[in-house]
Amino acid sequence: MDRRTAAKNRSLALTTPTDLGSNATKDIAAALTAFLADIFVAAASC
């Protein structure tokens, strides 16, 4: 891969096809963030 192709690939947005609305994806991301934070705290306290 040459430098131009690598630079172009880095600037492309990552898109995943979904039929969920933008609010649903934000809600899922927020829930997962909270869940992972809880898991981290639980693992750190052991």
Residue whose entry in the numeric block shows the structure tokens 């809880």: 38
For 4-38, the pLDDT digits (tens) are 887 777 776 677 788 989 899 899 999 999 999 99
Q: pTM for the full model?
A: 0.57
Structure tokens at 2: 């040459």
What pLDDT does residue 9 have? 74
Report how far residue 9's alpha carbon sits from residue 12's, in angstroms, rounded to the nearest whole number.
5
